[in-house]
Amino acid sequence: MSFTDGLLVLLGKDVSLDPQGLNARMHFFGSVPVDDGTPFPPPTPGLNEQSHPLNKAARHPCVVALVSVNGGVGRSTLAAALSSGLQRHGESVVAVDLDPQNALRLHFGVSPCAPGIGLTSLRHGHWENIQQPGFFGSRVLPFGETDMQQQEDLQRWLKNEPDWLAQHLSTMGLSARHTVIIDTPAGHNVYFHQALSVADVVLVVAQPDAASLGTLDQLNGLLAPHLERERPPHVHFLINQLDEGNAFSLDMVEAFKQRLGAKEPLEVHRDTSISEALAFGTDPLDSQALGLAADDINDLCRLLIARKKCL
Ligand SMILES: Nc1ncnc2c1ncn2[C@@H]1O[C@H](COP(=O)(O)OP(=O)(O)OP(=O)(O)O)[C@@H](O)[C@H]1O
Ligand SMILES: [Mg+2]
């Protein structure tokens, strides 16, 4: 039995598709608070004027959501790099941090004190007023600092208001020349479903390791309800931090390819310039030392722009 076959048996569908097993693993990602009857904030004035802002019949922005079940795989890093890359390719980019960790701001060098979408939403404010400058002319909406109570209030609200994100985006004057990049928290949570409800393209980010491979069935389960809608999003699997000098990394890519079948995964190479850009809050695509990862990001940008033309 080959190494890849061994991995596939080990991480095989039988275990992951078992609903019992799936439920048993959910504790790892935390749970959405139960509705205890506390009133939600009332609708923000102006937010309900357009019932579905990203109305598919109208000219609308392309929305790209970065998701994964496990953390630390590079969703925020890629959100920042893609924002810069797409802006360089002529798009008008707005990056939205939908993760209460509020880490996307670090990638853009935005102050921790910058107001964010969390508190602004709770205070019925409009998101267009809190945009921060991103890379190369792009813009970023940080999640902002929130305490535990505020995060619980938001989660409860969003669970009951599935159009929350769509309605907020509708107030921002976005058009077909815009691309919205959404960074989400890892795992099964209200932000994942809010992002998926407006996404035209979903990038499922994974690392070339067994932990990421083992999440594929769970991810398919989370994506399934969103793929049933009238115009479902295009889903691409993306292996990030690929190290071609590492045999194990290459074996894992083969294992992914076997599991995904016809859905060939996209790839972004591991590159120390990317980690350095995060450390300094600088644009990763400005780095002179950026090697293969720069080509990967540019390829990804071209693919997203091509997808946009088909919307
Ligand atoms: N292609 C890459 N090359 C080198 N380092 C990378 C690459 N992609 C991500 N990293 C590094 O991996 C680490 C995790 O990245 P990041 O914070 O973007 O992951 P995440 O999925 O957003 O994590 P979290 O679950 O905490 O939100 C960071 O130190 C980042 O610099
Ligand atoms: Mg992140």
**Is residue 88's pLDDT more than 90?**
yes
Could you report the per-residue pLDDT of 102-138, keeping only the tens digit for each? 999 999 999 999 999 999 999 999 999 999 999 999 9
Q: For position 61, what pLDDT does the model report?
A: 94
Of all protein residues, the one whose alpha carbon is nearest to atom 16 of ligand 1 is: 74
Cα–Cα distances in Å, from 271 out to 11, 115, 208, 209, 242?
A: 28, 31, 14, 17, 9
Look at 30-39, 196-205, 287-296 and tell me which has the smallest mean pLDDT.
Answer: 30-39
Higher-pLDDT residue of 108, 35:
108
pTM for this predicted structure: 0.85
Cα 5 from Cα 258, distance rounded (Å): 9
Pocket lined around ligand 1, Cβ cut-off 6 Å = 71-77, 99, 101, 103, 186, 240-241, 268, 270-271, 274-275, 278, 293
CA 172 / ligand 2 centre spacing (Å): 24
CA nearest to 82, candidates 233, 201, 243: 201
Could you report the per-residue pLDDT of 225-257, keeping only the tens digit for each? 999 999 999 999 999 999 999 999 999 999 999
Q: For position 158, what pLDDT does the model report?
A: 97
Mean pLDDT of the chain: 85
**Is residue 9's pLDDT more than 70?**
no
Q: Give the best-scoring range by mean pLDDT among 59-63, 64-68, 283-287, 304-308.
A: 64-68
Helices and strands counted in the chain (H then E): 14, 8
Cα 109 from Cα 99, distance rounded (Å): 17
Q: For position 251, what pLDDT does the model report?
A: 96
**Is residue 77's pLDDT more than 90?**
yes
Helix axes 75-88, 292-309, angle to 10 degrees: 70
Which atom belonging to ligand 1 lies closest to the Cα atom of 104? 22
Q: One-letter amino acid identity for 157?
A: W
Higher-pLDDT residue of 263, 269:
269
User: Alpha helices, DSSP H only, in the chain?
Assistant: 3-10, 13-17, 19-25, 75-88, 104-108, 117-122, 148-160, 164-170, 190-198, 210-213, 216-227, 247-260, 272-280, 292-309
Cα 170 from Cα 308, distance rounded (Å): 18
Mutate to test the pocket of ligand 1, among 77, 107, 273 (most ligand atoms within 8 A of CB): 77
CA 291 / ligand 1 centre spacing (Å): 17
**Is residue 28's pLDDT more than 70?**
no
Of all protein residues, the one whose alpha carbon is nearest to atom 12 of ligand 1 is: 74
CA 278 / ligand 1 centre spacing (Å): 9
Instruction: Return the domain boundaries, the chain.
Output: 61-309
CATH topology of domain 61-309: Rossmann fold (3.40.50)
Could you report the per-residue pLDDT of 138-193, keeping only the tens digit for each? 999 999 999 999 999 999 999 999 999 999 999 999 999 999 999 999 999 999 99
Which atom belonging to ligand 1 lies closest to the Cα atom of 205? 21
Which atom belonging to ligand 1 lies closest to the Cα atom of 271? 3
Cα 65 from Cα 54, distance rounded (Å): 14
Strand partners, 96: 141, 182
Q: For position 308, what pLDDT does the model report?
A: 84
Cα distance between the two ends of the chain: 43
Cα 310 from Cα 36, distance rounded (Å): 44
Point out the ligand nearest to the CA of residue 104: 2
Point out the ligand nearest to the CA of residue 207: 1
Q: For position 15, what pLDDT does the model report?
A: 30
Of all protein residues, the one whose alpha carbon is nearest to atom 3 of ligand 1 is: 270
